[in-house]
Amino acid sequence: MRAAGRDRAWLLTHSDAELPAGQVEKFESWLTRRARQEPVQYILGETEFFGLTLRVTPDVLIPRPETEHLVESALERVRHDAAVRICDVGTGSGAIAVALAHALPRAEVTALDISAAALAVARENAERHGVAGRVRFVESDLMSAVRGERFDVVVSNPPYVRKDEVLEAQVRDFEPPGALFAGSTGLEIYERLIPEARAALVEDGWLLMEIGHGQREELAHLLRDWDAVEFVADLQGIPRVAIAQRRG
């Protein structure tokens, strides 16, 4: 459908139509790329996340459905008419930042990433969905570039894969390693981010982070000095979001 520039309805009603040579060549090139395990999202140049169509390139991690639990959890903890200040650490494609800005009309979002190329993609997605005026993009190693600023909510889907963990070829060979791998334990980014977030949050502010399979107990330990710590599971029952509140 995409190679032909037509929708499903057109294809169903024109089953005998012949595609122009250029469209056939495009489709065949896509098949070749997919046969090499390249993700469909990179081939098409976009994906769906939280009801939004987002641009994706090999410079950014492909947003997963599991990350929608992080967005949902954040939305449950703020008033939708509030002028809330949100910081998205490691924004990548901007999926989380754009989804929250789209759902919260008075929110001001700061989207941080160490990759300038990723920030360019995120900026394009913010413009596509009409929220660029309320999303600030800053190149930063975690929260270093906004040290001294205060936020009501800090959200992050950080790298959390151990460097020796075996991944599918379409992930390992195509998605940016810096957005996947955290180090030998997979906890290295959390160990830096959690204290940075605590320093940046206002009293009663919220920290929400996506976590990897089997990391619940380690994250509970890292968050032992926080309040209202809880974990949200994905549809498979796997703890996927760590939530904590800063009080006092």
pLDDT in tens, 124-171: 999 999 999 999 999 999 999 999 999 999 999 999 999 988 889 888
pLDDT tens digits along 207-226: 999 999 999 999 999 999 99
Where is pLDDT greater, at 234 or 27?
234
**Residue-level pLDDT at 122:** 98
pLDDT band at 33 (very low <50, low <70, confident <90, very high): confident
Domains and CATH numbers, the chain: 61-245 (3.40.50.150)
pLDDT given for residue 170 in this prediction: 85
Average pLDDT, stretch 87-95?
A: 98
Q: What does the alpha-carbon distance between residue 25 and residue 47 come to, in Å, rounded to a whole number?
A: 23
Three-state secondary structure string covering 68-127: HHHHHHHHCCCCCCCCCEEEEECCCCCHHHHHHHHHCCCCEEEEEECCHHHHHHHHHHHH
Mean of pLDDT over the chain:
92
Is the pLDDT at 17 greater than 60? The verdict is no
241 vs 216: CA distance, rounded Å: 9
Task: Please determine, for residue 14, whether its predicted confidence score (pLDDT) is greater than 50.
Answer: no
Residue type, 203: E
Q: How does pLDDT run across 40-80, given as a tens digit for each residue?
A: 999 999 999 999 999 999 999 999 999 999 999 999 999 99
What global pTM score does this model have? Answer: 0.88
Residue 34 reports pLDDT greater than 50: yes
231 C-beta neighbours (distance < 10 Å), count? 19
Identify which of 71, 153, 159 has the alpha carbon closest to the alpha carbon of residue 109: 153
- Count of alpha carbons within 13 angstroms of residue 154, beta-carbon side: 30
**In this prediction, what percent of the chain has a pLDDT beyond 90?**
79
107, 51 contact by CB (below 8 A):
no
Rounded to whole angstroms, the Cα distance separating 14 from 169 reads 36
Q: Parallel, antiparallel, or unpaired for β 227-233 and 135-139?
A: unpaired
